[in-house]
């Protein structure tokens, strides 16, 4: 059968990205532009600034990505774009661009759920990964435990009732004066601290459903800092350990509640954290499961995962009409 290539577009948060991916799992080209510098002065993503930046960058980026692969748009088999969930201005920029390209070329449009992009991306990285698998998706915007059973077939076992884990890392880092995005800096500082020094809560630990809550932990970090009793490094180490204890407790519960799975997988920007990876790897080994953490460039927001989700949908005979709506909220 002829190889199929999909153009993927991602613009749901603060990364503008385009990629060309084949069903043979080859990323022919991909480009990504982060907007960290634009949002840094505000300590978080500003939706209006993000949408404007996507609008400026996306079309030339798609052109450059095609040039990188030595392709023209007519050689692409379908156009896939994130249609939600995310910051609606940015999502609309990506989706409307994809609609225009689909209309101009007559190629199928595939409206991809960003979370499905994350959830299926481990299969782009690892051809041996078969459904079903248990996925921990942890980033600045997401914090979910998903049973991934197939294309469009997910069971959301747990989610956060307030902040995402990356958000808690970023807000705690801000309290410690570490800048934005603070996750990597907090992890570095934690290496110099003692995780037993600061008593912090483990929200929802031991509860029945594998849900998360990180707002209380973040507030406890603020109180610890304001007390003046602890070093920043000890606060960082204690925060990270509290977060790990919550993740492992919830994942253990999720594993106990599902049937057989083929692997334990982690994705999202927080998957960059070595201490978190280490703890998950051990949990997987305890359950005799392979542990899969895709390369970081595929874990954080990117367009290759959107192209890949598009390919899986295309192989399943799916595409979307040109009036498909952008959705700020779109649970799996």
**DSSP-based three-state secondary structure for 177:** coil
Query: DSSP string of 12-72?
Result: SSSEEEEEEEETTS-EEEEEEEE-HHHHGGGTS--HHHHHHHHHHHHHHHHHHHHHHHT--
- Where does this chain bind Zn ion (CB under 5 A)? 139, 301
Residue where the block lists tokens 């404007």: 52
Rounded to a whole number of angstroms, the minimum distance from the CB of residue 141 to ligand KG4 is 4
Phi and psi angles of residue 155, each rounded to the nearest 5 degrees, phi first: -120, 120
Can you tell me whether residue 31 is helix, strand or coil? strand
Q: Is 113 annotated as a binding residue?
A: no
Question: Is 157 annotated as contributing to ligand binding?
Answer: no
Residue 273 labelled as part of a binding site: yes
Instruction: Yes or no: say if 291 and 264 are a contact pair by the CB < 8 Å rule.
Output: yes
161 exposure class (CB count in 10 Å sphere: 0-12, 13-18, 19+): middle
The answer on whether 137 is annotated among ligand-binding residues is yes
Question: Which 8-state DSSP code applies to residue 40?
Answer: G
116 vs 187, which CB is nearer to ligand KG4?
Answer: 187
Q: Is 118 annotated as a binding residue?
A: yes
Q: Of these partners, Zn ion, ligand KG4, none, which one is at the site of residue 310 (CB under 5 to 8 Å by kind)? A: none
> Alpha-carbon distance 232 to 85, whole Å?
35
Q: CA 240, CA 10: separation in Å to the nearest integer?
A: 30
C-beta of 76 vs 267, nearer to Zn ion? 267
CA distance linking residue 153 with residue 53, whole number of Å? 33
Cα separation, 294 vs 37, whole angstroms: 26
Q: Confirm whether residue 24 is marked as ligand binding.
A: no
Taking the least distance from each CB to ligand KG4, the nearer of 203 and 294 is 294
Nearer Cβ to ligand KG4 (85/310): 85
**Least distance between ligand KG4 and beta carbon 142 (Å):** 6
Size of the chain in residues = 332
What value does the CA radius of gyration of the chain take, rounded to a whole number of Å?
20
In the numeric block, the tokens 């409307």 are attached to 96
Two structure tokens written together for 264: 């334990």
The response to whether 93 counts as a known ligand-binding position is no
Residue 182 binds: one of Zn ion, ligand KG4, none (C-beta under 5 to 8 A by kind): ligand KG4
Residue 166 touches which of Zn ion, ligand KG4, none (Cβ within 5-8 Å per kind): ligand KG4
Select 109 or 164, whichever has its Cβ closest to ligand KG4.
164
Minimum separation from the CB atom of position 141 to Zn ion (A): 6
Q: Which does 270 bind (CB under 5 to 8 A by kind): Zn ion, ligand KG4, none?
A: ligand KG4
Rule CB under 6 A: which residues touch ligand KG4? 13, 139-141, 166, 169-170, 181-184, 187, 268-270, 272-273, 300-301
78 vs 116 by CB, closer to ligand KG4? 116
249 is in an annotated binding site: no
CB 114 within 8 A of CB 306: yes
84 binds, among Zn ion, ligand KG4, none (CB under 5 to 8 A by kind): none
CB of 228 to ligand KG4, least distance (A): 25
- Angle at CA of residue 22, ends 64 and 91, nearest 5°: 60
Minimum Å gap between C-beta 103 and Zn ion is: 27
Q: What minimum distance in Å lies between the beta carbon of 85 and Zn ion?
A: 9
**187 marked as binding residue:** yes
**Min separation Cβ 169 and ligand KG4, Å:** 4
Query: Which residues are annotated binding-site positions for substrate?
Result: 137-141, 170, 183, 187, 273
Annotated binding residues, written as ranges, equal 114, 118, 137-141, 170, 183, 187, 273, 301
């Amino acid at each position: 059968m002829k190889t199929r290539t999909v153009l993927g577009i991602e613009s749901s948060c603060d990364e503008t990205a385009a990629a060309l991916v084949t069903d043979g799992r080859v990323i022919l080209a991909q480009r990504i532009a982060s907007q960290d510098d634009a949002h840094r002065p505000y300590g978080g993503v500003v939706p209006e600034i993000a949408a404007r930046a996507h609008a400026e960058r996306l079309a030339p980026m798609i052109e450059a990505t095609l040039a990188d692969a030595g392709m023209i748009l007519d050689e692409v088999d379908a156009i896939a774009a994130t249609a939600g969930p995310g910051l609606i201005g940015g999502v609309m920029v990506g989706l409307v661009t994809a609609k225009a390209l689909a209309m101009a070329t007559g190629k199928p449009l595939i409206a991809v759920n960003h979370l499905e992009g994350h959830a299926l991306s481990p299969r782009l990285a690892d051809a041996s990964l078969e459904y079903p698998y248990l996925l921990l998706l942890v980033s600045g915007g997401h914090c979910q435990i998903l049973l991934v059973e197939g294309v469009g077939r997910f069971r959301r076992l747990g989610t956060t009732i307030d902040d995402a884990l990356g958000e808690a890392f970023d807000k705690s880092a801000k309290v410690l004066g570490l800048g934005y995005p603070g996750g990597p800096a907090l992890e570095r500082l934690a290496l110099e601290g003692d995780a037993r020094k600061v008593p912090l809560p483990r929200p929802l630990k031991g509860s029945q459903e594998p849900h998360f809550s990180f707002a209380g932990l973040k507030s406890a970090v603020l109180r610890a800092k304001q007390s003046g009793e602890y070093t920043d490094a000890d606060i960082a180490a204690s925060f990270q350990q509290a977060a790990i204890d919550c993740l492992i407790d919830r994942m253990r519960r999720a594993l106990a509640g599902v049937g057989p799975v083929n692997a334990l997988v982690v994705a999202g920007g927080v998957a960059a954290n070595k201490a978190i990876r280490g703890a998950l790897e051990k949990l997987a080994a305890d359950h005799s499961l392979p542990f899969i953490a895709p390369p970081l460039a595929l874990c954080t927001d990117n367009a290759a995962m959107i192209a890949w989700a598009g390919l899986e949908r295309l192989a399943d005979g799916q595409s979307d009409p040109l009036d498909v709506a952008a959705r700020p909220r779109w649970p799996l």
